[in-house]
A and B are shown apart, each in its own frame.
Chain A
């Protein structure tokens, strides 16, 4: 919010005193995102301390939450909900809702499993584990999800049926279809390439790959921030002072590299490492072979989806129109925006993302069951809303929703670590959800928005 005085280059004349507050203002940060990072830090440290207290040694310092292994698992568990939350942001921003995504996830996950476990190998007599199997299954699954989304979006946008009703119907219909066709079987085994989407030590980037990815990310962050700063300067707009830009670049890179460091600190499980050593004729050193696991493939997929969706929402017309529709549907229409088509597209995107999440889930479970994705819609909506998406429309961010998914999953995973019973988990998550939104509404009203 420092950037309100456009004709005042770098605020030179009335630069605030070098107080902490002034420095903070010049950084021009998103307060909401900072608040979420803070909340996440509190949750993580809280679970770390409590897991120490309740652990075998009863020592507050021997926590098990902030270990490489747990954070690695947490990152993998967050992926499916986070991927869908990025789509849910656009749905909610344009004043709609999609309750059917859990069922779409189930139906597409089941279909993708059938394609690779039955239809390609048996029905078409092509055999298991063909090199093309995984991509065909994945693309057909995503196409199915997009088609279901298109159908629902069409009913909402052109049929003028409320999204709540259309997708409530979808929730029942698509899940019912899975049960009806599947008759309660578990579909497996899945294609071995497809299973790489599920993560685990064999489906991660490894040490070198992870570091390369991290360094590339840092270069990209530095380039993007400096390029946008340069562009604003060319137009003569106010920009953050150089020290603030550099600080932000360094902080972002530190966060990225810190994440990589945690992921590579998690070594392959002993048994798997021994197996690998035997298969490759390596003599195991004393203490076992140490192989860095690195960033799981599904997390790489999530990073890609987050970047893509952020670009789509902030830099493309489609995203701008979704926000305009959420802010004022009449203004969007009068501005010449094709509102119905845009709404339909948000549902197509949501369906495709639910299908992608279905692939990630099925790959992680190495099978498809009829209950795949049950109640996922609730976690996804909660993640989007905790991440700052407003139910009155027009407000929300993709990175916020991903962070919201991480908060949700941290709560669940932490309580699991503390052996909290499942019903109590639900109670806590429910209370946190309402409290978070209550606090957010209060803060927003206080700040006059």
Chain B
């Protein structure tokens, strides 16, 4: 309760324009430890429908681990996840997908030996009346999704390992958006992409946001995050430094939070000067 208040307090203080009501997702005091190492320690974040929350931090800050908890790839040691105000148990990726949470992993998580359609429907294959896999229906659906996402995509019958990085990324993105996600987690979605494809992904993020999907965006690229996010959550060494409205801070403020692990108001002039030279 107290942590929840705190999180909301941060938002109201800095983001009067953020959508109100019950958040789509609340991750409340989530902790994950590997052995004795606290990868994520009592982190509380929330996400509203039609909102993009950027998740930034250095290597090992715990952003990916936090998101893996939401996508069911890891179970939290403590803490609570609420979807539209209701506490839920997410113990595996199937649970997460059941709540409309889709994830684009940094590693893409593609089965290299299977074609685009097989990957897009992996674990959720379309079946014929007799319970066989309906490859034609799956290929047809994949063609229509790809037609919107990446019209130049043509190689539907080859294993994804023989596709280019951008095409593989398209497959991973197609998989996340095809199943009517309400909550989308994008872990470094533009890492493997060239400038044109990156622009395409940015456009896609804005389009999905307009459709009312809530998006967690993990990125190393502070410019990406600044251009796309409504709020920015900064993590350092497993802890949440703070959540800020991107209209109320500068890139330097956020960089300072990442490097110093403190919110802008708490940074001394000397520290700031040190960071910015």
Q: Which A residues form the contact surface with B (CB < 8 A)? A: 1, 3-7, 231-232, 234-235, 237, 311, 315-317, 320-321, 323-324, 326-328, 330-337, 394-395, 448-449
Contacts and interface: CB of A to CB of B under 8 A. Distances in A.
Contacts of B71: 334
Interface stretch (B43-51, B121-129, B243-251): B121-129
Contacts of B110: 328, 331
Contacts of A323: 111, 113-114
Contact of B139 (A235, A321, A328, A336): A235
B156 interface: yes
B133 A335 contact: no
B143 A6 contact: yes
A323 B154 CA distance: 23
B133 A315 contact: yes
A253 B139 CA distance: 29
A334 B103 contact: yes
Given A320-B114, A324-B114, A394-B111, 5 more contacts: A237-B136, A315-B133, A316-B133, A320-B125, A335-B123
A326 B133 CA distance: 19
B132 A316 contact: yes
B216 interface: no
Interface stretch (B22-30, B55-63, B78-86, B89-97): B89-97
22 contacts: A4-B154, A6-B143, A7-B154, A234-B136, A235-B137, A237-B136, A237-B140, A315-B133, A316-B131, A321-B123, A323-B114, A326-B113, A327-B113, A328-B112, A331-B109, A332-B111, A332-B122, A334-B73, A334-B93, A335-B123, A336-B94, A336-B123
Contacts of A235: 136-137, 139-140
A422 B73 CA distance: 53
Nearest to B161: A449
A237 B122 CA distance: 21
A3 B112 contact: no
Contacts of A311: 132
B214 interface: no
Contact of B111 (A3, A232, A324, A336): A324
A395 B113 contact: yes
Nearest to A228: B136
Central interface residue in A1, A327, A333, by most chain B CB within 10 Å:
A327
B118 interface: yes
A340 to B, nearest CB: 11
Interface string B181-209: 00000000000000000000000000000
Contacts of B113: 323, 326-327, 394-395
Given A336-B92, A394-B112, A331 B136 contact: no
A320 B118 contact: yes
B158 interface: yes
Contacts of B92: 336
Nearest to B151: A7
A5 B109 contact: no
B158 to A, nearest CB: 7
A234 B161 CA distance: 28
B155 interface: yes
Nearest to A332: B111
B162 A330 contact: no
B82 to A, nearest CB: 22
B141 to A, nearest CB: 10
B107 interface: yes
